[in-house]
Structure 1
Amino acid sequence: MRDRHPALIDHIRAAHPYGPTQLAALDRLQDEAVGAPMQPLDAAPDSAAWAAWGANYFGKPWSQAPFLWAESYFYRRLLDAVDFFTQGPWYWIDLFAHLKTAELRDPTLEPELAALEHILDLPPQKRTEVLLLASLWGNRADLGFRIGVEAAVGNHQDAAGLIADDTAPVLSLLHTGPQPIAVIADNAGRELLADLILIDHLLDQHGGTTIELHVKPAPYYVSDATTADVTACLRRLADTPGASAAIAGHLRAAMQDGRLALRTHWFYCAPFSFHRAPADLTQMWEPAALVLLKGDLNYRRLVGDCGWAPTAPFQEAAGYYPAPVVALRTLKSEVVVGIDAKTVQDLEDHDPAWRTNGSRGTVQFLARRM
């Protein structure tokens, strides 16, 4: 609240030609976030919901609200400040689109996407492993394909920094035959490219497989994926000759015939963990033979944004979830469970920032509840 959010507001001001109304609203939000009491939303379609959710926090310092709640509300207020939901010239204009576009236009993507040609030569199960790990590490600068290849042919712990690795049972489940799969996306840009390439492979290896790709209903947490980001990634793949363009064609065809479907839900931008997911959202998850849950924020929402001991069992934290789930996560926040005590001690001794510096990852799997 003191450092990152004011810097983000400054960046948004500089990136867009907002007028006096939006600039004044951004100034008010910045002043409020660093010292003034938290205020409710002005008139908005969802103001009643936020008024109920924030009844215990409005009028108090932002720091007195749970961190996940306060973060989510900050991004909702940011959209309000720039008239994202207001009919007019800024209606539904993604204030983070320039950052996402720059990532997709990065020239270093070309050689990384070219690595796909080599991955397609791998045996199917090895290819699944490589693309699964690429999806996990996808928001790193190299898109994750090279890391994925190294991990799949060597030692996961050494090559990819995995500190919890349930890759084997996940691969076994993914290779049992056609089945419904859900992917709950995290970041747009490079990570979403990696997700789409994995989805294409999963659809291709079993003809009857169906996949639902869940994205955010509105811009959220700077880089979170929306439907617009899916279409931008498909265009980026289509513009790259060879395997990438072919994958874009496969995915478009799969969307047209219903094997791949986009899904969203208002709760994906709500300020709560998935323990409070409404029934219509859990009913989307329940039919899946496997839910691939992407990223750090979704991990926090899966286990609860709580002060867990890192050795607490993953089953204890996520056992309520209504479908088999694998958390593919790069650590960028303190919350983590399911790590063995020796690994935790080694990390504390040699890399004190291991929970937040993005150098470690987890593949944590939980089978369907009995």
Structure 2
Amino acid sequence: MSVPYAPPPHPTLTPPPMLTSTTPGTWAHDTMSRRIEADILARLEEENSEELSSSQFTAAAAKVASLRKEIQESTVIRPVEGPNDPDIADWDSLVSSLPPSTTYLTAPWLTAEFYVYRRVLEAFDYFNPSSPTHKFDPFVKQKRAGLLSSVSSAEALLGRIVKLKKNDSGLQVALLSALWGNKMDLSIWPADSDGSVDVFTSIVENAANNLLWDDTPTLIPSMLASSPCSVHIIVDNAGFELVTDLALADYLVASGVASTVTFQLKGHPTFVSDAMESDLLETVDHFSKLADSHLNCAAAGERWSKYLTEGKWICREDYYWCQPFPMWKMSDKATSSLKDADYCFVKGDANYRRLLGDCAWDYVNDSFQDVVGSYFPCNVVALRTLKAEVGCGMKKDLMEAAAVADSNWQVNGNWGVVQFGSPEK
């Protein structure tokens, strides 16, 4: 589908079509034809079954069931309901920009995904202060489970991060730990390690072998030369991935690389595990109260709480981060929020897709600097593990090798990029 927005401000680049979900066999098609309904929404119903069976949630239960049916049948996308909702004007504008009769499959994939999660909030009457389900987070149980399961891995990670020096290798370890957050909680990071053996450096080195583009040789000297600088992190997921973001921010402030770190967080629940300010504060509070068996976590929680109190860490929420608009169509509020940033780290696959407008850029020939660096309001760093069939600025030989080694290399999160762009280049 052609891009229904003004193109990014680049003198020669014209955005290619946006990804849709119409092609069987693609991750996009599987997501919108099956996974988001049969896996994600079904799990939402199961995890909130007690609430949804109560009289206060009768309307919400019916609306979630209706939403699942709409997705099964790929019906026409309708406007979001909620005339007094604070983000309704943005969603009215977005839905009205779609061609008539646009369905869940024919809509731009990113639009359809974000739309489903916004419809979940509509089902729960999230913004209505007179509703019994006002501000109910249907994903909070999954996020809290992720937080609780992260502690053993976090204990090992934080014991290593706190020892890092203000130098090239220290910053690289902190950056790559934030990049591989989700995978380090599974196969890459040994959850039973107590930190006594320095396995973490070798893990990072092995993980670097799966990078399809690595701008750390340019990024790291730039940041060290600019220190102390102002860093922003556009956060993705709660759970262990958020812990790795906090660990990166901890290193940046403690080492003096950054004077402040600002966390750009979702303004409402979305994409199941995406982090809001409440999730970040809950993580800090939980770690600070851990017992002697998790000394590194407890010490980190106390440091993080102090950073927040002293203003060295800042939390900012915005509904814009919950919407599928490309980042070249950033809201005035979000743009203003980034005005003091020297470097902005963009975490996660969904945020990366928004950097690219979810457009089918050439993986090799369209550089990250041309596609993103040319319009972003400050130095921008994408820390992304691939979970969607979209990308730019990768090395052809590494990409081809990944395709030979792993048929699902574009979507399984085992391959990543560190890409650095600047408005000054």
TM-score normalized with structure 2 length = 0.80
Rounded to whole Å, the distance in 2 between the matches of 1:283 and 1:196 is 23
The one-letter code matched in structure 2 to 1:347 is A
Q: Is the contact between residue 146 and residue 238 of structure 2 (CA under 8 Å) also seen in structure 1?
A: no
Judged with a 3 Å threshold, the aligned counterparts in structure 2 of structure 1 residues 358 and 288 are, in CA distance, closer, same or farther, namely same
Task: Indicate yes or no: 2:87 matched with 1:38.
Answer: no
Find the partner of 1:174 among 223, 226, 250.
Answer: 223
Matched residue, 2:175: 132
Task: Indicate yes or no: 2:62 matched with 1:24.
Answer: yes
Find the partner of 1:203 among 226, 250, 253.
Answer: 253
Judged with a 3 Å threshold, the aligned counterparts in structure 2 of structure 1 residues 130 and 137 are, in CA distance, closer, same or farther, namely same
Judged with a 3 Å threshold, the aligned counterparts in structure 2 of structure 1 residues 279 and 84 are, in CA distance, closer, same or farther, namely closer
Deviates more, 1:10-19 or 1:269-278: 10-19
Matched residue, 1:288: 341
Q: Which has the higher contact order (CA 8 A, sep 6+)?
A: 2
Q: Residues 109-148 of structure 1 correspond to what in structure 2 (within 5 A)?
A: 109-125=151-167, 126-140=169-183, 142=185
The one-letter code matched in structure 2 to 1:272 is F
Matched residue, 1:315: 369
Compute the displacement of 1:112 (Å). 4.3
Compute the displacement of 1:111 (Å). 4.9
Judged with a 3 Å threshold, the aligned counterparts in structure 2 of structure 1 residues 3 and 293 are, in CA distance, closer, same or farther, namely same
Rounded to whole Å, the distance in 2 between the matches of 1:156 and 1:365 is 19
Q: Is the contact between residue 184 and residue 293 of structure 1 (CA under 8 Å) also seen in structure 2?
A: yes
Q: 2:404 aligns to what SS in structure 1?
A: helix
Matched residue, 2:396: 341
Compute the displacement of 1:59 (Å). 4.3
Compute the displacement of 1:123 (Å). 3.3
Task: Indicate yes or no: 2:243 matched with 1:187.
Answer: no
Deviates more, 1:342-351 or 1:224-233: 342-351
Compute the displacement of 1:121 (Å). 3.3
The one-letter code matched in structure 2 to 1:132 is L
Rounded to whole Å, the distance in 2 between the matches of 1:148 and 1:361 is 18
Find the partner of 2:126 among 54, 74, 84.
Answer: 84
Matched residue, 2:105: 63
Compute the displacement of 1:100 (Å). 0.8
Q: Is the contact between residue 294 and residue 329 of structure 1 (CA under 8 Å) also seen in structure 2?
A: yes
Compute the displacement of 1:54 (Å). 0.7
Find the partner of 1:49 among 73, 90, 93.
Answer: 90
Q: Is the contact between residue 134 and residue 148 of structure 1 (CA under 8 Å) also seen in structure 2?
A: no
Matched residue, 2:11: none
Rounded to whole Å, the distance in 2 between the matches of 1:111 and 1:222 is 21
Matched residue, 2:9: none
Find the partner of 1:218 among 262, 268, 280.
Answer: 268
Misfit runs of 4+, over 4 Å? 143-148
Unpaired runs of 5+ residues, structure 2, are 1-31, 191-198
Deviates more, 1:243-252 or 1:305-314: 243-252
Task: Indicate yes or no: 2:365 matched with 1:278.
Answer: no
Rounded to whole Å, the distance in 2 between the matches of 1:214 and 1:252 is 17
Q: How many residues align?
A: 366
Matched residue, 2:44: 12
Q: Is the contact between residue 402 and residue 409 of structure 2 (CA under 8 Å) also seen in structure 1?
A: yes
Deviations 1:161-212 (A, max 9, x none): 1111111222223322211111110111100011111111111111871111
Task: Indicate yes or no: 2:213 matched with 1:164.
Answer: yes
The one-letter code matched in structure 2 to 1:209 is S
Matched residue, 1:331: 386
Deviates more, 1:38-47 or 1:14-23: 38-47
Rounded to whole Å, the distance in 2 between the matches of 1:248 and 1:174 is 26
Q: 2:105 aligns to what SS in structure 1?
A: helix
Matched residue, 2:6: none
Rounded to whole Å, the distance in 1 between the matches of 2:200 and 2:59 is 47
The one-letter code matched in structure 2 to 1:149 is T
Rounded to whole Å, the distance in 1 between the matches of 2:297 and 2:409 is 34
Rounded to whole Å, the distance in 2 between the matches of 1:145 and 1:167 is 21
Rounded to whole Å, the distance in 1 between the matches of 2:65 and 2:153 is 42
Deviations 1:34-81 (A, max 9, x none): 222222222332434322221235643222211111111111001111
Q: Is the contact between residue 188 and residue 225 of structure 1 (CA under 8 Å) also seen in structure 2?
A: yes
Judged with a 3 Å threshold, the aligned counterparts in structure 2 of structure 1 residues 25 and 128 are, in CA distance, closer, same or farther, namely same
The one-letter code matched in structure 1 to 2:202 is E
Deviates more, 1:170-179 or 1:115-124: 115-124
Deviations 1:328-361 (A, max 9, x none): 0111001111112212222223323211011101
Task: Indicate yes or no: 2:138 matched with 1:95.
Answer: yes
Deviates more, 1:281-290 or 1:309-318: 281-290
Matched residue, 1:297: 350
Rounded to whole Å, the distance in 1 between the matches of 2:100 and 2:268 is 23
Task: Indicate yes or no: 2:306 matched with 1:253.
Answer: yes
Q: 1:338 aligns to what SS in structure 2?
A: coil
Q: Is the contact between residue 134 and residue 145 of structure 1 (CA under 8 Å) also seen in structure 2?
A: no
Give the aligned CA root-mean-square deviation in angstroms. 2.2
Rounded to whole Å, the distance in 1 between the matches of 2:161 and 2:229 is 23
Q: Is the contact between residue 131 and residue 145 of structure 1 (CA under 8 Å) also seen in structure 2?
A: no
Judged with a 3 Å threshold, the aligned counterparts in structure 2 of structure 1 residues 20 and 128 are, in CA distance, closer, same or farther, namely same
TM-score normalized with structure 1 length = 0.92
The one-letter code matched in structure 1 to 2:220 is L
Compute the displacement of 1:120 (Å). 3.1
The one-letter code matched in structure 1 to 2:274 is D
Q: 2:304 aligns to what SS in structure 1?
A: helix
Unpaired runs of 5+ residues, structure 1, are none
Q: 2:383 aligns to what SS in structure 1?
A: strand
Q: 2:382 aligns to what SS in structure 1?
A: strand
